[in-house]
């Protein structure tokens, strides 16, 4: 019997226990990880659920596995742990910087990568565009088994997922690219960013960009890739000024969202500068690696 007042908390020990409990609670239940988004439900005037299923004690969801082909991150890994445990992997700089710069130290210590992906109606999530730029895949677990999908497809399906679906892991293919995360908070640390650019670029031996994946967050309701820019970057030299110029030529594809922190036009107008910052970071990484 569920209480009418305080929500019921069920602490799952395995993924199977979690999905079964959530399936049984139906629309009365929800997973809970670090609770940094859920605790603000009253501020958003969102109703609390009658029951929460904690994912924090599920061992596999707190683990990071590194193989030659991919890096697999349990959905309950915190922002702080991500930054600390993967900070030495150069190709993941976009993700570890996103984790290390989001929110504030107290929030980063409990907020999880799974919670970041699953916070519906939160356009400013830092890890989402970072994961998109890395071509990450999301592993969903349900009572019927597991499946993998792209971050973009996951975001599209997120609102209509059946009760009982949880994000189990996030897998990132290992690639020979350089990556960077540029975000613009308006005041100080702890603010949500008004715009985010996450970029992963492969660079050929002649210094030209051979592959580009660039994702934008916080500008529209949902993070998304910027294919027009990606196509224009490929084939040209790795150069922050050039990237900024190209970015300014392809701004019309965005319809910035108006919000309390910034109007929509402002969110789009700052993108070329953020892109410049991200590409300059990548240039610096390349130069450092080449010992220049």
Ligand X SMILES: Cc1cc2nc3c(=O)[nH]c(=O)nc-3n(C[C@H](O)[C@H](O)[C@H](O)COP(=O)(O)OP(=O)(O)OC[C@H]3O[C@@H](n4cnc5c(N)ncnc54)[C@H](O)[C@@H]3O)c2cc1C
Binding site for ligand X (CB under 6 A): 30-38, 40, 55, 75, 102-103, 107, 111-112, 114-116, 118-119, 122, 124-126, 166-167, 190, 192
Nearer to ligand X by C-beta: 31 or 256? Answer: 31
Nearer to ligand X, 118 or 203 (CB): 118
Q: Least Å distance between CB 278 and ligand X?
A: 17
Cα dihedral 149, 139, 113, 124 in deg (nearest 10): 20
Residue among 130 and 200 whose Cβ is closer to ligand X: 130
Q: Which residue's C-beta sits nearest to ligand X?
A: 115
What's the closest the beta carbon of residue 211 comes to ligand X, in angstroms?
26
Of 103 and 233, which has the nearer Cβ to ligand X?
A: 103
* Identity of the residue, 9 or 253, whose beta carbon is nearer to ligand X in the bound complex: 9
Across the strands, what pairs with 83? none
**Burial of residue 39, with CB atoms counted within 10 A of its CB: 0-12 exposed, 13-18 middle, 19 or more buried:** exposed
Residues 71, 184: Cα–Cα separation, whole Å: 28
**Closest approach of Cβ 267 to ligand X, in Å?**
15
Interstrand relation of 64-66 and 70-74 (parallel, antiparallel or unpaired): antiparallel
Distance of CA 19 to the CA centre of its chain: 23
**Closer residue to ligand X (CB): 217 or 247:** 217
Other beta carbons less than 10 A from residue 75's beta carbon: 28
User: Of 236, 240, 165, which is closest to residue 199 (Cα–Cα)?
Assistant: 240
Least CB distance from residue 25 to ligand X, whole Å?
A: 12
Query: Least distance from C-beta 249 to ligand X, angstroms?
Result: 29
Q: Cα angle at 283 between 170 and 265, to 5 degrees?
A: 70
Residue 169 makes CB contacts below 8 A (sequence gap 6+) with 60, 61, 72, 73, 74, 75, 139
The alpha carbon of residue 277 and the mean position of all alpha carbons in its chain are separated, in whole angstroms, by: 19
Closer to ligand X by CB, 21 or 167: give it.
167
Smallest distance, Å, CB 255 to ligand X? 21
Query: What's the min distance (Å) between Cβ of 104 and ligand X?
Result: 6
């Amino acid at each position: 019997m569920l209480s009418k007042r305080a929500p019921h908390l069920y602490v799952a020990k395995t993924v199977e226990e979690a999905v079964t409990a959530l399936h049984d609670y139906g629309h009365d239940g929800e997973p809970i990880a670090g609770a940094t988004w859920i605790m603000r439900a009253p501020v958003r005037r969102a109703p609390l659920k009658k029951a929460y299923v904690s994912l924090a004690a599920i061992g596999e969801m707190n683990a990071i596995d590194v193989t030659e082909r991919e890096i697999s991150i349990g959905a309950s890994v915190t922002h702080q742990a991500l930054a600390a445990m993967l900070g030495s992997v150069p190709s993941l700089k976009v993700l570890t910087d996103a984790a290390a710069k989001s929110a504030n130290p107290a929030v980063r210590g409990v907020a999880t990568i799974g919670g970041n992906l699953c916070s519906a109606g939160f356009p400013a999530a830092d890890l989402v565009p970072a994961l998109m730029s890395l071509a990450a895949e999301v592993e969903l677990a349900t009572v019927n088994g597991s499946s993998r999908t792209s971050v973009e497809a996951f975001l599209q399906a997120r609102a209509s997922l059946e009760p009982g679906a949880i994000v189990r892991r996030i897998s990132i293919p290992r690639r020979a690219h350089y990556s960077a995360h540029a975000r613009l908070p308006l005041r100080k640390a702890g603010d949500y960013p008004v715009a985010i650019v996450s970029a992963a670029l492969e660079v050929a031996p002649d210094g030209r960009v051979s592959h580009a994946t660039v994702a934008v967050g916080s500008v529209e309701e949902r993070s998304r890739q910027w294919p027009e820019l990606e196509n224009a970057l490929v084939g040209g030299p790795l150069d922050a000024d050039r990237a900024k110029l190209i970015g300014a030529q392809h701004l019309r594809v965005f319809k910035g969202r108006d919000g309390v922190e910034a109007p929509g036009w402002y969110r789009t107008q700052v993108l070329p500068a953020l892109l410049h910052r991200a590409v300059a970071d990548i240039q610096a990484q390349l130069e450092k690696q080449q010992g220049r």
